[in-house]
Each structure stands twice: as structure tokens, then as C-alpha cells.
Amino acid sequence: MRLQSQCPPTKPGIARGATRTTRRLVPCAGNNTKVSEVLRPLGLAISTVALTAGVSHAEYTLPPLDLSDPNRCNAVFEAQTSGKQATRSGQVTTAVSGKVLDARQCNLQSAKLPSKILSGSLFDDTNFSGADLRDARLSKSIIRNADFRNVDFSNGVVDRIDFTNTNLNGSNFYNAIVTNTNFQGADLGGTNFEYALFGKEDIKKVCQNPTLQDESREQVGCPN
């Protein structure tokens, strides 16, 4: 499935594919990237394509978890680092060239990973609570049933991620790109979405999450 962009022409001072509101940037609908084109080269089979506009859930067949490598969880610290401008570009890159970064079930509490390229990574059941992921790129990562409380995602690229049933309580998405991200079943209590980039359909879906309350709902642009 490929979604054709219906984005308006770029205006001075506004990124292509986005329109400005009084509190945040909201992108127009459209995404010409197939999820399968990115995840299949990384060894992931997808039975239901998701993480694209209009789809909120997917089932994945992930590779077996290899617990024999004692340094498996340290791979996140060896991931490439990008400059701030490159991080905001949204270009999809594997975290470690030529292989999937598989940090499932790892304890990475309070990890310092600013500006790391972690796109397409596997973080199911991982403890990332209190981590520093400012300016990091996590596009198309799978992060289900994980502990991501009080994580700093500010200025990061956090788009097309599956956050199903992940605890994001107290996390900071200030000025982050979160388009086409699935927050189904996630704990969004106390999150900061000020100036975060959402699509119109994204807003409808995230506003249905009952844990999104008070100022967080206002920042996303939920109706009263």
C-alpha cells in the first residue's frame, strides 16, 4: 500500500508537508514510503502493514531473540550519531549498518543516547525509563510493552513507531516528529507534546487514548 501525498505547496518558514497552528505544526495527509520496503531488508516479515496513515495496529513476525550475545544490549551505544539537522530530515537509516538493532528485553534505564540513529530497531519489553533520546531518530521502530517513562524525545524523529501498550508516562515529546505513530494502549499520563508534529488523523487517534489528560490533550489539539 502506497499513500499519495496531498500536501500543499511549501510556505516560507514552514516545512514541506506541514501547516502551522497557533501551538504546533500539523502535517497534511500523505506518505509515499512503504513500511515493508524498510523493514523487510532488516529481516522483519509483516502480516498486516501498519505504522502508515490510517492504520493503527500491526502484527509482526520478528526474528528469534538471541540471548547468547552478552554485548547485545550495548549495541545501542555503538549506533551512529547524526547532526541535529540530519536528524530532523526523517531519512530512514538502520541503527547499525547492515543489521537489525535488537535490544528487546534489555535494561537501558537512564541511557544517554542523544542524536543516535536507532531507526528500525526492536525494543519490545525494554526498560528505557529516564533515557536521554534528544534529537534521536527512531523511525519505524517496534517498541511494545516497554518501559519508556520519563524519556526525553525532544526534537527527535519518533514517527511511524509502534508504541502499543508501552508506558510513556512523563515523557517529553517537545518539538518531536510523531506522525503516523501508534499509541494504542500506551500510558500517556503527564506527557509533553508541546509543538510536536502530528497529522490530522494522528490527532484523532491519540485523543482517543484515555490516559492523555489535561495540558497534554491541549498540546496535541484534542477537542474539548
**Are the CB atoms for 26 and 179 separated by under 8 Å?**
no
User: Pseudo-torsion of CA 72, 139, 151, 28, nearest 10°?
Assistant: -170
Alpha helices in 81-171 (DSSP H): 84-87
Residue the block writes with cell 505544526: 25
From CA 110, how far away is CA 148, in angstroms rounded? 10
Using alpha carbons, select from 142, 124, 136, 143 the residue that is nearest to residue 177.
136
Per-residue confidence of the chain (224 residues) as pLDDT tens digits?
Answer: 333 333 444 333 334 344 333 344 434 434 443 434 444 444 444 333 333 333 345 567 888 898 898 889 999 999 999 764 333 333 333 444 557 899 999 999 999 999 999 999 999 999 999 999 999 999 999 999 999 999 999 999 999 999 999 999 999 999 999 999 999 999 999 999 999 999 999 999 999 999 999 999 999 999 98
- DSSP code at position 95: S
- Predicted TM-score of the model (pTM): 0.72
